[in-house]
Amino acid sequence: MRKKILALTTFSGTIIGVGLFSLPFVTAQIGFIPMFFYFIILGAVVMMMHLLYGEIVTRTIGNHRLPGYSKIYLNKGTEFIAYVTTFIGLTGALLAYIIVGGEFLANLLIPIFGGTSLSYILIFFTAGTFLVYFGAGPISKTEFLSLGIFFTVLALLFFKALPHIELSNFTSISFDIKNYFLPYGVILFSLGGLAIIPEIKEILKSEEKSMKKIIIWGSVTPILAYIIFVITVFGVTGAATTKEGMIGLNLALGNGIVHLGFMFGILTTFTSFITLGVSLKKEFRYDLGLPAWLAWILACFPAIILFMLGFRQFINIIGFIGAVTMGIDITIISLIYLKARKKSQRIPSYQIKIPDFAVYILIVLFLVGVALQLVSL
């Protein structure tokens, strides 16, 4: 039971990250009703992709990441593409965590200790990088507590905001067609947990048969949390919702509750930063065979370098990662899945019976999403 709880909380806790704070602003651009349907449709598709990847992971002997599975089941070309997309995707995610988590830390502590936003962003990065060096063990063991704190604070924010929620905010719909593709990449990023699925297999070890249920519940939990958070923030601030979500809530509810919200934001971004940092480090270790110190440097430091170079628009960053790098990764996973069903190294802990034609339809749809995102740049 202990391993199952660790696996579930690590999976859900990693998915619930910086994407959470972009969702109210994106909702304000198109309206709550279209956003809700985006969640339902993309949530179901992403859960299916989590399950397909989980089946691949349990069909394969040894510990690998996406490039390793690409090499085993496909070819060196897709292996190289997987290295590029996972590196860009996870580095971009770490960059987004630095931007938002560091700003939350700054907003919380500058009134007390003074200083600049940059100094607190560097503190956030340094603390996270330090823990990535030592691995995910300590984090996976505390993720249950972290997730419990997360939902406690989310409940407090919701009930504090409830008297201020305007129902009219939920019925307004934007008819500006150019905004309707905006949620696609952001929601994909916010719901994506592909990178952590091999980690779940390692946590479960002899209890792999529980993996299917963990992936299902671990995929559903963030959707519910996100919808509650959107109702809380967008319901109060409506069209005035800020890009970071919590800043606008400050004006409506006052400093006390928002300080709690900043701690809530620091918690979610910090734990996800560590878990994804460890996952990227292990990709360099397992699939490229690099020394631990070099894998750690390559996993953590490109993100802070990009930040220093001026890449700081977190919604644009996560939208690109979700639509492009995740879209390509999902395409590769779909192709691996089709091959792994016929070339399995071991009996998987579960099997998802989805027709080949349905997998090809998903591939086409995600590649269209990649193309649309690239055209919109």
Type of residue found at 160: K
Q: Enter the pTM of the model.
A: 0.88
Task: Phi first, then psi: give them for residue 172, nearest 5 degrees.
Answer: -75, 140
Residue 366 domain boundaries:
2-376
As a whole number of angstroms, the distance between CA 152 and CA 133 comes to 30
Instruction: Express each pLDDT in 131-166 by its tens digit.
Output: 898 865 555 566 677 788 888 888 888 888 888 888
What is d(CA 85, CA 333) in angstroms, rounded to the nearest whole number? 12
| Four-residue CA torsion sign, 358, 359, 364, 369 | positive
- Per-residue pLDDT of 363-375, as tens digits, reads 999 999 999 888 8
Q: Domain total for the chain?
A: 1
**Cα-Cα end-to-end distance for the chain:** 46
Cross-strand partners of 173: 31
**pLDDT category of residue 261 using cuts at 50, 70 and 90:** confident
Percent of the chain with pLDDT over 70: 93
* 254: its two tokens: 């006052």
* Helix residue spans in the chain (DSSP H): 2-15, 23-30, 32-59, 66-73, 76-113, 117-134, 137-161, 168-171, 182-191, 197-204, 211-237, 246-253, 255-286, 292-308, 314-320, 326-340, 356-376
What pLDDT score was predicted for residue 169? 87
pLDDT tens track for 33-73? 989 999 999 999 999 999 999 999 999 988 888 888 999 99
Burial class of residue 354, CB neighbours in 10 A (0-12, 13-18, 19+): middle
Contacts of 60 (CB under 8 A, 6+ apart): 69, 72, 340, 344, 345, 346
Whether residue 116 has pLDDT greater than 60: yes
Please give the Cα distance from 336 to 59 (Å, whole number).
11
Average pLDDT over residues 307-319: 91
User: Which stretch of 236-250, 318-332, 360-374 has the lowest confidence by average pLDDT?
Assistant: 236-250
Contact in structure between 320 and 327 (CB atoms under 8 Å): no
158/235 Cα distance (integer angstroms): 10
Instruction: Give CA–CA dist 97/143, Å, rounded.
Output: 17
CA distance 281 to 298: 7
pLDDT, average across residues 28-33: 89
- Give pLDDT, residue 6: 83
- The Cα–Cα gap between 114 and 265 comes to 20
- For residue 90, the domain's CATH number is 1.20.1740.10
Task: Evaluate if residue 21 carries a pLDDT over 60.
Answer: yes
